[in-house]
Amino acid sequence: MSDGGVRIMAVMKQEASKQVKRDAVATREKLLDAAVEVFSADGPRGARVDEICQLAGVNKRMVYHYFGDKDGLYGAALGRVYDGFYAVEVDLSAMLLPADELLEVLVSRYYKFLGENPAFVRLISYENLNDGRVIKGLRVKGKKAQVIEALRLALDKGQDAGEFRAEIDAAELLVSIFALCFFYFSNQHTMGELLGAKAMTKVGQKARVRHVVDLLLNGLRKK
């Protein structure tokens, strides 16, 4: 074979290898998308691998090839929704905002994320029902360090100005922020029955964001 023919064969092999990798990535993504949908609907115990594969249009053996087993697939699905949660951060321009503006940014972004990602709400609820069995292996510690730092800076400003109580902890404040946001979506159906469907509309959500921010600020301020 001529040198030109050898080069052509080498290029063809490289392209074929790239296509195989692209196909593998696409297959894995299809499985993850389907897994998030099925696990969030049926929970880690009720979900069936066959249903996930049927939804993804992928051969069942690919689950075991890419993820090892059903638990591995569930862990990857949980990691997928958490990746979206990690992305709800404050940018550098928001890091130095006054506390009231920063809280408005955070609460609004969390409400938007939770409203657009019901699978996250359901999967996190299932994971907590199972004592956080899988999330312990996902290495989530420190993922919210930037948000905590922004809150700490805002608290420092308010404390230096004599407006905020000195004992407020930034990490505890973040827990309170997310709890006030998450509960709205994790309990929206029962709360809708108790308070009326109007309370759970987008208009109601805007009022809720304002209420949460005011509530947090009142908790931070000195008496």
pLDDT digit string, tens, across residues 150-162: 889 889 988 888 8
Please indicate, yes or no, whether residues 211 and 149 belong to a single structural domain of this protein.
yes
Q: How confident is the model at residue 176 (pLDDT cuts 50, 70, 90)?
A: very high
Kindly state the DSSP code that residue 143 receives in the 8-state scheme.
T
Please indicate, yes or no, whether residues 64 and 124 belong to a single structural domain of this protein.
no
Portion of the chain with pLDDT greater than 70, in percent: 81
Please indicate, yes or no, whether residues 58 and 12 belong to a single structural domain of this protein.
yes
Report whether pLDDT(34) > 90: yes
Give the C-alpha separation, 193 to 60, whole Å. Answer: 41
Q: CATH no. for residue 128?
A: 1.10.357.10
Q: How confident is the model at residue 197 (pLDDT cuts 50, 70, 90)?
A: low
Split into its structural domains, the chain has a count of 2
Give the C-alpha separation, 167 to 170, whole Å. Answer: 10
Residue among 204, 150, 139 at smallest CA distance from 177: 150
Please indicate, yes or no, whether residues 56 and 139 belong to a single structural domain of this protein.
no
Q: How confident is the model at residue 133 (pLDDT cuts 50, 70, 90)?
A: confident
Please indicate, yes or no, whether residues 199 and 115 belong to a single structural domain of this protein.
yes
With respect to residue 67, please indicate whether it lies within any of the assigned structural domains: yes
- pLDDT digit string, tens, across residues 43-52: 999 999 999 9
Q: How confident is the model at residue 182 (pLDDT cuts 50, 70, 90)?
A: very high
Q: How confident is the model at residue 3 (pLDDT cuts 50, 70, 90)?
A: low
Domain boundary among 76, 98, 117: 76
Domain boundary among 54, 76, 98: 76
Residue among 51, 92, 100, 102 at smallest CA distance from 73: 51
Please indicate, yes or no, whether residues 53 and 151 belong to a single structural domain of this protein.
no
What is the identity of the amino acid at 159?
Q
* Burial class of 15 by CB neighbour count within 10 A (0 to 12, 13 to 18, 19+): exposed
- pLDDT digit string, tens, across residues 71-115: 999 999 999 998 888 877 666 566 778 888 888 888 888 998 998
In which domain, by residue range, is 153 found?
88-220
Please indicate, yes or no, whether residues 40 and 132 belong to a single structural domain of this protein.
no
Domain boundary among 76, 106, 141: 76
Q: How far is CA 156 from the centre of its chain?
A: 28
Please indicate, yes or no, whether residues 36 and 145 belong to a single structural domain of this protein.
no
With respect to residue 208, please indicate whether it lies within any of the assigned structural domains: yes
Q: Would you state the pLDDT for residue 19? A: 45
What is the identity of the amino acid at 82?
Y
Residue among 130, 49, 103 at smallest CA distance from 221: 103
Backbone phi, psi, residue 221, to 5°: -70, 150
CA angle 194, 195, 201 (to 5 degrees): 125
Q: Would you state the pLDDT for residue 136? A: 80
Q: Would you state the pLDDT for residue 48? A: 95
Give the C-alpha separation, 13 to 196, whole Å. Answer: 63
Number of Cβ atoms within 10 Å of the Cβ of 48: 11
Dihedral over Cα of 105, 110, 116, 117: its sign: positive
Q: CATH no. for residue 43?
A: 1.10.10.60
Kindly state the DSSP code that residue 68 receives in the 8-state scheme.
S
Please indicate, yes or no, whether residues 72 and 165 belong to a single structural domain of this protein.
no
Residue 183's contacts (CB-CB under 8 Å, 6 or more residues apart) are none
In terms of DSSP H, where are the helices of 47-117? 49-56, 61-67, 70-86, 99-116
With respect to residue 82, please indicate whether it lies within any of the assigned structural domains: no
Q: Would you state the pLDDT for residue 12? A: 47
Please indicate, yes or no, whether residues 37 and 144 belong to a single structural domain of this protein.
no
Report whether pLDDT(17) > 70: no
Please indicate, yes or no, whether residues 183 and 136 belong to a single structural domain of this protein.
yes
- Which of helix, strand or coil describes residue 217? helix
With respect to residue 11, please indicate whether it lies within any of the assigned structural domains: yes
With respect to residue 174, please indicate whether it lies within any of the assigned structural domains: yes
Q: Would you state the pLDDT for residue 49? A: 94
Arithmetic mean of pLDDT, 17-21: 44
With respect to residue 81, please indicate whether it lies within any of the assigned structural domains: no
Contact 40, 123 (CB under 8 A): yes
With respect to residue 83, please indicate whether it lies within any of the assigned structural domains: no
